[in-house]
Amino acid sequence: MIHKDHPRYESLRLRAKIVDAYKNGILADSGMIAHGRGEAFDYLLGEQSTENAKLAVEAAAAALLLAEHPIISVNGNTAALVPDKIVELSNELDIPIEINLFYRTSDRVLKIEKLLRDHGAKTVLGTDHEKKALIKGLEGPRSSSSAEGIYKADVVLVPLEDGDRAEALVKNGKLLITIDLNPLSRTAKTSSITIVDNIVRAIPNLIDTVINLSQTDKVTLHQIISNFDNKENIQSSLKKISKKYTGEDL
Amino acid sequence: MIHKDHPRYESLRLRAKIVDAYKNGILADSGMIAHGRGEAFDYLLGEQSTENAKLAVEAAAAALLLAEHPIISVNGNTAALVPDKIVELSNELDIPIEINLFYRTSDRVLKIEKLLRDHGAKTVLGTDHEKKALIKGLEGPRSSSSAEGIYKADVVLVPLEDGDRAEALVKNGKLLITIDLNPLSRTAKTSSITIVDNIVRAIPNLIDTVINLSQTDKVTLHQIISNFDNKENIQSSLKKISKKYTGEDL
């Protein structure tokens, strides 16, 4: 039990979720370690959503609302931390979720599918027994995607994606929205819209923004996207983190 | 198997060691996550020993050579990553090692003791059946230390220590040498000498420096320590990391 008055309560609560998910077979070994990397970068961000993150969320919501075939890609860490919020976003937008694992095993896919369905998910793709199509520019099992899901999608929301796959998805013409705490990562730099934030804050913010913009006309949504400059937004995040390093007295 | 030509070979090799140690019961759950945090901070350091780290290592070597009762404190992650190098340093200086775990269990203590002894350790303290003494300012199991080890020591080398314990050790009059990849951590700020580096590089550097300084007279060793300014050294590390954030083109 973690006490609510512990100064690191929220961080420890998330860590406990990750450890449970690992023990339940939802996470690979590397998922535990990846969570630690996220803890470090979130600490440097001050563990709060920045103005830059909010701007990126707004552009992401507009892109998802305008998309013809949008999809939400989910990996083990996302399923472990925010299964309820991913399903809520999926249902709010009425778009499918695709399970997309770096270290894919049938067992983990089944467990994540069950977790999402238990939270009320309607369409879960990326399971074993469906038609697959290969994403150009990738090799091996990582090149496979659901023919009706990521392969067909024009806009892909993919939290915590690796660099190779992010690059390939962009090269294949997708508008890629990522959520990544490391603004220097290849995924952050490659994506069309990069939300530099923790998924536990970014997904709820995205749900709120999708609801707020749901009645907005297409011209305005297009304007939101064209006013958003991803490179500039990332640079601004970098400056904020850099201040954490040099602005504090020791 | 990780191929040697993989761009992240060294990082993946360390990760594999951590996963093995976890599966062998040497690491707690939090040790896997802590390794991930370390990966992130090491990435920001450029995964190499800086000039500041080398200066801190020199001061640390001088302090260990001058100490009356020096000791090396070892936790799970240190035992997992550099058991051989810890033993080499201990034997070179002819000083004991104390097992000091945040989430202490008898099973993990026994496994780490065996690991260190298998690598040739002579004196391993901090095991279950020895006389303990309480460190003032700490509560619960974390306040316990070996009466002949950390409790009695004047100089403690403690890689990867938590902030509460680091503060208490300093308040109890110890000269505290830490190795910590996060220059903003409470441990980094509290310690007498902070080596901002990965233990897999810092411990070998420390061994080399101890050997180099082993014939140096006491006056010179005292000068090395008094010329070293820990606060200034940490500030300089912070500036280096900050450059990583703002100096790179996206």
What confidence tens digit (pLDDT) does each residue in A147-204 have? 999 999 999 999 999 899 999 999 999 999 999 999 999 999 999 999 999 999 999 9
Torsional class of A156: left (φ above 0), alpha (ψ -120 to 50), beta (otherwise): beta
A34 contacts chain B (CB < 8 A): yes
Quick: pLDDT tens for B115-156: 999 999 999 999 999 999 999 999 887 889 999 999 999 999
A40 CA to chain B: closest CA distance, Å? 5
Residue A212, C-beta contacts closer than 8 angstroms, at least 6 positions apart = A61
Q: Which region among B67-81, B128-142, B155-169 has the lowest average model confidence (pLDDT)?
A: B128-142
> What domains, with CATH codes, occur in chain A?
51-246 (3.40.50.12640)
pLDDT at position A41 is 93
Pairing relationship of beta strands A144-146 and A132-134 according to DSSP bridges: antiparallel
Average pLDDT value for residue range A95-108: 95
End-to-end, the C-alpha distance of chain B in Å comes to 32
Average pLDDT value for residue range B233-249: 80
Cβ pair B96, B123 in contact under 8 A: yes
Tell me the backbone φ, ψ of residue B41, rounded to 5 degrees: -70, -35
Closest residue of B to A242, CA-based? B242
- When pLDDT is cut at 50, 70 and 90, the band that residue B250 belongs to is very low
A190 is in an annotated binding site: no
Mean pLDDT score of chain A? 93
- When pLDDT is cut at 50, 70 and 90, the band that residue B247 belongs to is low
pLDDT at position A239 is 85
* B83-88 long-range contacts, CB within 8 A, separation 24+: B83/B115, B83/B116, B83/B118, B83/B119, B84/B119, B85/B200, B85/B203, B85/B204, B85/B207, B86/B116, B86/B119, B86/B121, B86/B203, B87/B116, B87/B119, B87/B120, B87/B121, B88/B207
Mean pLDDT score of chain B? 93
Identity of the residue in B15, B189, B244 whose CB atom sits nearest the CB atom of A33: B15
Report which of A90, A104, A12, A55 is spatially closest to residue A202, judged by C-alpha positions: A55
* Residue tagged 């082993």 (tokens): B214
CB contact under 8 A, B36 and A38: yes
pLDDT at position B239 is 85
User: Higher model confidence: residue B66 or residue B139?
Assistant: B66
pLDDT at position B1 is 62
Identity of the residue in A32, A231, A244 whose CB atom sits nearest the CB atom of B33: A32
Identity of the residue in B36, B231, B248 whose CB atom sits nearest the CB atom of A33: B36
> Does the structure show a pLDDT above 90 at A245?
no
> Does the structure show a pLDDT above 50 at B6?
yes
Cβ pair B98, B116 in contact under 8 A: no
Structure tokens at B145: 């230390």
A183 CA to chain B: closest CA distance, Å? 9
Quick: pLDDT tens for B15-62: 999 999 999 999 999 999 999 999 999 998 989 999 999 999 999 999
- DSSP assignment of A175-207 equals EEEEE-S-TTSHHHHHSSEEE-S-HHHHHHHHH
- When pLDDT is cut at 50, 70 and 90, the band that residue B198 belongs to is very high
Average pLDDT value for residue range A216-237: 96
Structure tokens at A86: 């991913």
> Does the structure show a pLDDT above 60 at A205?
yes
pLDDT at position A248 is 55
